[in-house]
Amino acid sequence: MASKNLFLLAGDGIGPEAMAEVKKLIAAMNDKLGSGFTAEEGLVGGCAYDAHGAAISDADMAKAMMADAVLFGAVGGPKWDKVPYEVRPEAGLLRLRKDMELFANLRPAICYPALAASSSLKQDVVEGLDILIVRELTGGVYFGEPKQIIDLGNGQKRGIDTQVYDTFEIERISGVAFELARTRKNHVTSMEKRNVMKSGVLWNEVVSQTHQARYSDVKLDHMLADAGGMQLVRWPKQFDVIVTDNLFGDMLSDIAAMLTGSIGMLPSASLGAPDVKTKKRKALYEPVHGSAPDIAGKGIANPIAMIASFAMCLRYSFGMVAEADKLEAAIAAVLDDGLRTKDIFSAGMKEVGTTEMGDAIIAKFLG
Ligand SMILES: NC(=O)c1ccc[n+]([C@@H]2O[C@H](COP(=O)([O-])OP(=O)(O)OC[C@H]3O[C@@H](n4cnc5c(N)ncnc54)[C@H](O)[C@@H]3O)[C@@H](O)[C@H]2O)c1
Ligand SMILES: CC(C)[C@H](C(=O)O)[C@@H](O)C(=O)O
Ligand SMILES: [Mg+2]
């Protein structure tokens, strides 16, 4: 049997609370289904800084590089607001993405039928929504140089971040988006700001060329990213796959999260390129939400984004498609039964905590 080595980085705040539910699920799968996962745990974020003065240690970084898949909770929190920029909690996540070359971040936004009425948008706007944001994750303004604050010597300072994209980066992320579109509704919308950014001009050009050369069977639209944000809220069902850069993808996926009812619902997969020999790809799975310091420690966090991220792990890293489908169906069924964490609660439903929600999903999955 192929190895199934997981490396778990729960992180800070609600990260460990959500990860605890996935740990129970992994144990249950091993126990009841003989799934054969091994899981080792490490530190990332503020807890890693407290332990070793770095947002991730070299030893844990090496384990992440060797794992078949990394499961990541969330990092950050007010406790570490004043630590040096280079070792702030978020730096651990950015290092994982960069060193593992996880250039493709898949962020599906699905509105489960049971939650259509609880969205802040009108029911018919979100009902049946199933879109996929493909966010470029290792380039753009997140990593471009220079990135610094310069003292101008006249009482003024200058903060500089640099947006950089090379042809190959745009080509490979658009390839991922077109390939995925072929398995869905065959429609890609590329979002950039070519009206003000040179990188946007290049992005638009390379996506079009990639489309013409290899994917002309897929419908392609281009949209300015600001208008894209507006259209996501106006009529999101016009989209199938959205492909965009690192920063726009960050913002547009938080917007998309609210179409599903709560940011506590949105999973993600960050994937590298398949290895030429083994065809295996490095991968990290994480909820889109952060460490939610305002609710950490209260036992009320929604674990669904974390559990659905594990479903993506089953699908993309281990080819366990039937199990992934079953886990996603278990989430839908528990919502149909009326169970709700606080963030998705509406009148007449049963409010539950993190643990009860996790237990109910695991029971449905195994049942
Ligand atoms: N991947 C990550 O680790 C990640 C992602 C985003 C933000 N962050 C970090 O997290 C910290 C807090 O950031 P923020 O407040 O802007 O974003 P956040 O996503 O942590 O929280 C935003 C709001 O959503 C709520 N929320 C988030 N996840 C939830 C869940 N699972 N269940 C119920 N409610 C949930 C929070 O309570 C909060 O009100 C910052 O340090 C930020 O850098 C980390
Ligand atoms: C925590 C932070 C570095 C991260 C990002 O900006 O990419 C987060 O917001 C996300 O969406 O994964
Ligand atoms: Mg974000």
Catalytic residue list:
142, 193, 226, 250, 254
In the prediction, which pLDDT does 162 show?
Answer: 98
Q: Cα separation of 78 and 67, whole Å? A: 30
Q: Cα separation of 61 and 157, whole Å? A: 34
In the prediction, which pLDDT does 126 show?
Answer: 95
73 lines ligand 1 (CB under 6 A): no
343 with 320: CB under 8 angstroms? no
* Beta strands at 5-11 and 69-74: parallel, antiparallel or unpaired: parallel
6 and 151 housed in the same domain: no
Q: How confident is the model at residue 190 (pLDDT cuts 50, 70, 90)?
A: very high
In the prediction, which pLDDT does 18 show?
Answer: 98
70 with 7: CB under 8 angstroms? yes
Q: How far is CA 245 from CA 10, 50, 257, 290, 366, in A?
A: 26, 32, 17, 20, 38
Q: Measuring CA to CA, which residue among 53, 30, 57 is closest to residue 42?
A: 57
Q: Spell out the alpha helix ranges (H) of the chain.
A: 15-33, 46-52, 58-66, 89-99, 123-126, 167-182, 198-214, 225-234, 246-259, 304-318, 321-336, 354-366
112 and 258 housed in the same domain: yes
305 lines ligand 1 (CB under 6 A): yes
Cα dihedral across residues 141, 143, 144, 146: positive or negative: positive
* Beta strands at 269-271 and 104-110: parallel, antiparallel or unpaired: antiparallel
In the prediction, which pLDDT does 312 show?
Answer: 98
Q: How confident is the model at residue 258 (pLDDT cuts 50, 70, 90)?
A: confident
85 and 46 housed in the same domain: yes
Cβ-based neighbours of 122, under 8 Å, separated by 6 or more = none
The one-letter amino acid code at 152 reads L
In the prediction, which pLDDT does 355 show?
Answer: 98
169 lines ligand 2 (CB under 6 A): no
In the prediction, which pLDDT does 225 show?
Answer: 98
**Closest C-alpha residue for ligand 2 atom 1:** 90
In the prediction, which pLDDT does 120 show?
Answer: 85
CATH of the domain at 172: 3.40.718.10
Q: Was 16 annotated as part of a binding site?
A: no
Q: Cα separation of 264 and 254, whole Å? A: 11
203 and 300 housed in the same domain: no
Mean pLDDT of the chain: 97
Q: What is the pLDDT of residues 5-62, one digit of tens each?
A: 999 999 999 999 999 999 999 999 999 999 999 999 999 999 999 999 999 999 999 9
111 and 258 housed in the same domain: yes
R_g of the chain, CA atoms, integer Å: 20
In the prediction, which pLDDT does 118 show?
Answer: 75
84 and 185 housed in the same domain: no
117 and 213 housed in the same domain: yes
Cα 364 to middle of ligand 2, angstroms: 31
Q: DSSP states of 6-74 as a string?
A: EEEEEESTTHHHHHHHHHHHHHHHHHHH----EEEEE--THHHHHHHSSSS-HHHHHHHHHSSEEEEEE
313 lines ligand 1 (CB under 6 A): no
Cα 250 to middle of ligand 2, angstroms: 7
Q: Was 82 annotated as part of a binding site?
A: yes
74 lines ligand 1 (CB under 6 A): yes
Q: Was 290 annotated as part of a binding site?
A: yes
Q: Which residues surround ligand 3, an ion (CB under 5 A)?
A: 250
Q: Cα separation of 39 and 25, whole Å? A: 12
149 and 22 housed in the same domain: no
Q: Was 234 annotated as part of a binding site?
A: no
Cα 142 to middle of ligand 2, angstroms: 10
Among candidate residues 214, 230, 263, the one where a domain is terminated: 263
Please report which ligand is nearest the Cα atom of 263.
1
55 and 169 housed in the same domain: no
Q: Cα separation of 112 and 104, whole Å? A: 24
Q: Cα separation of 232 and 251, whole Å? A: 12
The answer to whether residue 1 scores a pLDDT higher than 70 is no
**Which 8-state DSSP code applies to residue 357?**
H
Cα 363 to middle of ligand 2, angstroms: 32
98 and 111 housed in the same domain: no
18 and 96 housed in the same domain: yes
Q: What is the pLDDT of residues 269-300, one digit of tens each?
A: 999 999 999 889 999 999 999 999 999 999 99
**Containing structural domain, residue 248:** 107-263
Q: Cα separation of 361 and 331, whole Å? A: 6
**Closest C-alpha residue for ligand 2 atom 7:** 250
220 lines ligand 2 (CB under 6 A): no
In the prediction, which pLDDT does 119 show?
Answer: 81
In the prediction, which pLDDT does 166 show?
Answer: 98
Task: Report the number of distinct structural domains present in the chain.
Answer: 2
Return the percentage of the chain with pLDDT > 70, whole number: 100
Task: Strands of 79-192 (E only): list them.
Answer: 104-110, 130-136, 144-151, 157-162, 187-192
Q: Was 90 annotated as part of a binding site?
A: yes
78 and 115 housed in the same domain: no
Q: What is the pLDDT of residues 58-102, one digit of tens each?
A: 999 999 999 999 999 999 999 999 999 999 999 999 999 999 999
